[in-house]
Structure formats: structure tokens, C-alpha cells
Amino acid sequence: MKNYCLLLIAFLFSTGMMAQDRGAVLLDVYGSYTFSNNVNFDYGHIKIGDGFTYGAGFEFFPQKSSSVEVKYLRLDTSMKTDRVPANGQNINGNGAFNYILIGGNHYFDSGSNAVPYLGGGLGMAIVDGPNGGNDTNFAWEIKGGVKIKTNSSVSVSLQANLISTIAPAGTDTYWGYYGPFAVQDYAYSYQFGLGAIIGFNLK
């Protein structure tokens, strides 16, 4: 198995490079391992488990070195909190994050088969809770990686990314000159992933 992997890597780096032309459209298929993280709020925390993130999207190149992308990603994971609701209901279990993001990438193409890039995006996270409810919140992403080009219409990218979801989490009370006032509080999740993208050049 190790020999096959080495041959595949050697093939990708030795084949002739197909330039990403202006006006190209790619169908990207995503897959990555996402690490667990804790989301803290005033009265406790929620542990979001690790899992596999997958999805698909389209990437358009208005310029050879920059792209605009629209994508959908899904992470199926476990959710566990140390906070017990007043009704005593068990709110732990399995849930999911559904991301719809619009963003872009900038490629630092120097003529090599391996092209580093940086990118980011903004959008929404639709969170499916363990008990069937869902909530829609703002989300953002930053990412970086290396795109490996071949002489075919298929490319492979190795990527690290960070997606954050920002959700309202109650209020904090502050005392001002005219007395107390409430300010909206927020909880932040930071989900770090490592994975790969297979791109299919459609144009």
C-alpha cells in the first residue's frame, strides 16, 4: 500500500501541468477530518465531537490566480453539554452542522505543479440539534493549502481550514450611568480540519 501511495505522489508531481485558465469552472468535492472543540458560554460549555466533513461546491476563476466559490459542507458529530435544563431533559446526542459558504481563493502560481493558496468565506451554519431542532447562525472560514495540478481535468488539493460559527447565547448585564442594561452575548465554535479536495474542470 505504501508503494502505491509513493507512485501516486510521484505521478502527480511529474505530469505536465494544466494551467487554470481565466473563465474556468470547477466542481469541487470536499472531504476532511474535523477535530473536536469546546464551545464556552456563561453557564457551561458544549463539547462538539470530531467527525468527517464532506460536501461539494463550484469554483469560478475570473482571473487565473483568483477564484470565487460557493459550497455546501456537512459535519455529522456528537454534542454534549454539562448544563442540565430545568425540565431535566437529556439534550446530549448526535447532531450536525450544515454550512453554506461563499468565498474565494488566491493562488500563488509560480509555474510549479504544486500551487499554494489562501482563502476564506462567509455564510451560514444550520445546526441540527440532538433532539430534532435546528438553528441558523453566521459562520466564517479561513483556509490554506496546496493544489496539485495534472495534465488532465482533475486536480487534488491538500488543505487545512478553520470554520467558526457564532451563535447568540443569552445576555450579560452591565451597569452604566443610567443603571443596568442588557447586552447580547455570543458563543463561538472553532472547528479545525485537515483534508483534501478533488476538483473537476468543467470548462
Taking only the tens place, the pLDDT of each residue in 76-118 is: 998 887 765 545 555 678 889 999 999 999 999 888 889 999 9
Question: What's the whole-number mean pLDDT along residues 10-17?
Answer: 40
Question: Which residue is associated with the grid cell 450579560?
Answer: 172
Please give the domain boundaries of the chain with CATH numbers for all domains: 23-201 (2.40.160.20)
Taking only the tens place, the pLDDT of each residue in 116-127 is: 999 999 999 999
What is the C-alpha separation between 84 and 53, in angstroms, rounded? 29
Largest CA distance in the chain: 73
DSSP state of 91: -
pTM: 0.79
Taking only the tens place, the pLDDT of each residue in 134-187 is: 889 999 999 999 999 888 889 999 999 999 998 876 555 555 555 554 555 678
Copy the grid coordinates of residue 3: 508503494
